[in-house]
Amino acid sequence: MSGMILIFSAIILNVCGHLFLKAGMNKIGIISVDQLLISFPKIFTTPFVILGLLSYVSSVGMYMVVLSRIDISYAYPLMMGLGYVLIVLFSWQIFSEPFSTFKWIGILLILIGVFFLGK
């Protein structure tokens, strides 16, 4: 499997993990740190939370495969940069989170930075 496919697989799993966790927490509602401990069984048995954790752990595993083959100075900026961009776009589409001109500018700057770091 090519390095780029591995990186993009890790990115997609990471982004899905965050989106599933957000969906799960939207169902649960606002919690505090002490509620996280007290309501542990309720929170960590919520289907979206389980999917989020599985996706996130899988992304770490895939990232380990990536690191065994690709320089971290290339893989990490690409993974984090594109992850940020996808999270912003998907959170806007899926959760109707606010989106502004500044976010578009930020996305553009991130993509330019990732492009230059990849050179």
Range of the domain at 99: 3-117
**How confident is the model at residue 40, as a pLDDT?**
83
pLDDT at 79: 92
Q: What is the pLDDT of residue 71?
A: 92
| pLDDT value of residue 39 | 84
**What is the number of domains present in the chain?**
1
Residue 39 φ then ψ, to 5°: -95, 25
Query: What pLDDT is stored for residue 114 in this prediction?
Result: 87
pTM for the full predicted model: 0.89
User: How far from 61 is each of 12, 28, 55, 100, 110, CA to CA, in Å?
Assistant: 13, 28, 10, 34, 25
pLDDT along the chain (119 residues), means of 10: 90 97 94 86 92 97 95 91 95 94 94 85
